[in-house]
């Protein structure tokens, strides 16, 4: 049995790595909102997202949002998710 710190991988969910980074991003957003005393509505306005989308994002509906859309919210606080791809030859 392989032990992992990624609960999404342990649960056998597809795109486990993506879900984990999205969860970390949501935790970061929650922390920054609390520290800055910014409302979800203000974050939505600055990120040019619907307020309901911010609410769903913070509620952990991770599969509903692309990394690009999450980056719009993160950018308000000067953060971003970076994704790197590389070709692996046989």
Q: Which tens digit of pLDDT belongs to each residue from 46-88?
A: 999 999 999 999 999 999 999 999 999 999 999 999 988 778 8
Q: Which domain holds residue 49?
A: 16-75
In a domain, 25, yes or no: yes
Contacts of 50 (CB under 8 A, 6+ apart): 44
In a domain, 42, yes or no: yes
CA-atom Rg of the chain in angstroms: 15
| 49 token code pair | 């997202």
Q: How far apart are CA 86 and CA 66, in angstroms?
A: 20
- pTM assigned to the model: 0.82
Output the domain CATH number for residue 42.
1.10.260
pLDDT of residue 12: 81
| 14 token code pair | 């597809």
pLDDT at 1 over 50: no
How many domains would you assign to the chain? 1
In a domain, 84, yes or no: no
pLDDT digits (tens, 9 = 90+) for 8-41: 887 887 788 888 999 999 999 999 999 999 999 9
Selection from 79, 83, 81, 19 nearest residue 43 by Cα:
79
């Amino acid at each position: 049995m392989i032990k992992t710190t990624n609960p999404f991988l342990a649960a056998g969910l597809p795109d486990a790595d993506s879900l984990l980074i999205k969860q970390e991003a949501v935790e970061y957003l929650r922390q920054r909102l609390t520290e800055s005393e910014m409302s979800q509505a203000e974050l939505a306005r600055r990120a040019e997202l619907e307020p309901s989308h911010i609410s769903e994002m913070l509620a952990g509906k991770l599969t509903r949002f692309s990394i690009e859309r999450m980056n719009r919210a993160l950018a308000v606080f000067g953060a971003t998710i970076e994704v790197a791809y590389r070709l692996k030859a046989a």
